[in-house]
Amino acid sequence: MDCPFCGKEMQQGILSGDGRSNVTWKQGSKRSGALERMIGVGKVTAAKLTLTSFTIDAAYCPDCKKMIFDTDISN
Ligand SMILES: [Zn+2]
């Protein structure tokens, strides 16, 4: 896809990390609590969990230093 900020072609890649709990998102400056992560409130549906890691398919623009991925947040 083209970067919506500068219009250049973005690099397609995979975000990954520790897979022990749901990957969550919460509005504001406070992160999700342990219970919220466990029961999946604010779960980032784009994250694919395995036993040891999570991955998210994401596009990256090295010029703007931004990443974009499609996801939903479960409530
Ligand atoms: Zn850009």
In a domain? residue 54 = yes
Domain count, the chain: 1
Q: What angle do CA 59, 65, 66 make, to 5 degrees?
A: 45
pLDDT, tens digit, for every residue of 42-70? 999 999 998 899 999 999 999 999 999 99
CA of 45 to the centre of ligand 1 (A): 25
Establish if 57 belongs to a structural domain. yes
Whether residue 21 has pLDDT greater than 90: no
pLDDT at 22 over 90: no
Half-sphere exposure of 22 (CA within 13 A, CB side): 21
Q: For residue 34, tell me if it sits in a domain.
A: yes
Q: Which domain holds residue 17?
A: 11-74
Is the whole-model pTM more than 0.95?
no
Å from CA of 16 to ligand 1 middle? 21
How far, in Å, is the centroid of ligand 1 from the Cα of 48? 26
pLDDT score recorded for residue 16: 92
